[in-house]
Amino acid sequence: MKAAGKRVLAGFLIAAGAALLFFLAVPLAHPAGSVPPQVNGRTAVHLQGDAPIFAGAARVPIEIPVGAPLAGYAGFRSASSPATLHARALALRAGTAQVVLVSLETLLVPGELEAEVIRRAGLPSGSCLLLAATHTHSGPGGTWNSLAAELGGNGRYDPALRDSIAQSAADAIRLAVGALRLARFHAVSERWPGGPAVTRSGGPIEGRLTALQARDDLGVIGTLVVYGMHPTVVPRSSRNPSGDWPSAAAREIEHRTEATALILQGAGGDATWDRSGLAGDGPVLADALGSRVAEEAMNALAPTPALSGAPLRCEVRLVALPAASASERIPWPLRRGASNLLALFADPYAAVAHIGVAGLDLAGVPGEPVGALSRDGMQLVGLADGYLGYVEDPRRAAMGEGESARTYYGPGLASALGIEREDR
C-alpha cells in the first residue's frame, strides 16, 4: 500500500475511533421544550358526562394470510397457515362526552398504528380513545416501521398488514358507535389470589381482575375484562397465528353472553402463567387459561348491582418522556453508549388516557407496567396507545432489579406517565 493510502486509512480509523468514543461517552441531545400539540394523532382531552350513558360494542375480524409476519419474539417468523383474529370496540356516550375502548389481538400498538386507526375511523384528534393490544405473542406483526422494533420482536414491517389491522380497528369503532343504546352497568375490581398469574422476576404481581359489563333489557351489550398475565402459552416454535389466552377468554364470554367481549392487559409486565399441573399443547392450554379467566370474570360480575355508570369521565394527557436510559444492569463503561443507541429510536412524547365509568378508574399505560405499580382504586391497562417498553417500579429500576433489563427510559418513566406509587 502506498504511503498516501496508508495515511488515508489511518486518518479514517482515527476518525472512526473518535466517533465511537464520542458515542460511548457523550449523551445525545434530548428533545427539550414544550410537548407538541399532537402526539400519535392525539390531542389533550378532558371531558365528563352524566347519566344516562349509552353503550355499543362490535367485533371485526383481522385476516392473517399465509406468510404474514408474526410478532412476539426476536427475529423474523411468518404465518404457516391463515387465521382470523379480531379487533373489538366498546363505545360509551353520555351527552356530548364519548369514550371508545378498543382491544386488538396484536403484540402491541405502536403510535403510528394508532394514528392510522384514528384517521381511518374518522375520529377527531380530540377524541377519547384507549386503544390497547392483548399482547399475544403469536399474533400478527409488521405494524411498526422501525428496524429496532422489527428485530426486537414485532416482525418485519408489512404496510399492507398494518393497514388491514388499522381498518379492522376503525370498522369496529364505527360499528360500536353506530350500535349505541341506553345501558346500565355492572362493575367489579378485586384481587384474585388463586389466579393463574405468577411472578417471573421476583416482584409482587398485580393479581387483580377488573370487569365491566354493559346491559339493557335485551341482554348484554358488551363486556370488558382486565387481567395482567403474559400471553405466551402458545410456544415460540408455533407458526400458527393465535390470540393466545386473551382470545380464548373473549370467545368464552362471547359464547355465554352473545355479545362482544374485550380482554385487556393489566399490570402484567412481570407476570407469567402458572405452569404447574397443566398438560397438553399450547392451544389447549391457552383455551384452558382463557376459560378460567372468563369464568372468574363472569362469577365476579354476577352478584354486582346495576349502576347508571355515571359520571363518564376521560382525560387524555400528552406527556414528555425522560431521556432514553439503558438499564443499570449494563456495565457502566457501556451504559452511555447503550443509552445513546436507545435514544436513536425512543419516542420523546406519549399520549396517556385515563377513563372513569361505573366507579372504575382505567389508566392506560403505553408499555408494560409491573405489578408493583398497581394500586387499589385504579386499574392500570398496559399496552395502550403506544409502546415504550417495560415500566418498572422506580426503586427497583434504579437498582437494576425486576424487569429493568427491558426498560428504555430508566427509573423516571413511571413518574412521567403519572403512575408512580407515592407509598413505595
- Structural domain boundaries of the chain? 45-301
Rounded Cα distance between 222 and 237, Å, is: 34
What's the pTM? 0.92
Q: Write down the pLDDT at residue 31.
A: 67
Ramachandran angles phi, psi of 103, nearest 5°: -115, 125
Rounded Cα distance between 336 and 40, Å, is: 28
Contact predicate 22/334, CB 8 Å: no
Q: Write down the pLDDT at residue 345.
A: 78
Q: Grid coordinates standing for 360?
A: 372504575
Q: Write down the pLDDT at residue 299.
A: 98
Q: Grid coordinates 363472569 are at which residue?
A: 298
Q: Write down the pLDDT at residue 22.
A: 43
Rounded Cα distance between 39 and 41, Å, is: 5
Half-sphere exposure at residue 52, Cβ-oriented, CA atoms within 13 angstroms: 10
Q: Write down the pLDDT at residue 337.
A: 78
Q: Write down the pLDDT at residue 335.
A: 77
Could you list the pLDDT tens digit for every one of the 424 residues in the chain?
A: 566 665 555 555 555 454 444 444 555 556 656 899 999 999 999 999 999 999 999 999 999 999 999 999 998 999 999 999 999 999 999 999 999 999 999 999 999 999 999 999 999 989 999 999 999 999 999 999 999 899 999 999 999 999 999 999 999 999 999 999 999 999 999 999 999 999 998 889 999 999 999 999 999 999 999 999 999 999 999 999 999 999 999 999 999 999 999 999 999 999 999 988 766 778 899 999 999 999 999 999 999 999 999 999 999 999 999 988 887 778 867 777 777 777 777 899 999 999 999 999 999 999 999 999 999 999 999 999 999 999 999 999 988 898 988 898 989 999 999 998 876 5
Q: Write down the pLDDT at residue 21.
A: 47
Helices 3-25 and 332-343: angle between axes, nearest 10 degrees: 90
Q: Write down the pLDDT at residue 100.
A: 98
Q: Write down the pLDDT at residue 405.
A: 87
Q: Write down the pLDDT at residue 18.
A: 45
Rounded Cα distance between 19 and 378, Å, is: 47
Contact predicate 310/405, CB 8 Å: no
- Nearest to 164, CA basis, from 142, 191, 188: 142
* Contacts for 151-160: CB closer than 8 Å, 24+ residues apart: 151/74, 151/75, 152/74, 153/71, 153/72, 153/73, 153/74, 153/107, 154/71, 154/107, 154/108, 154/110, 155/69, 155/70, 155/71, 155/76, 155/77, 155/78, 156/69, 156/76, 157/69, 158/68, 158/69
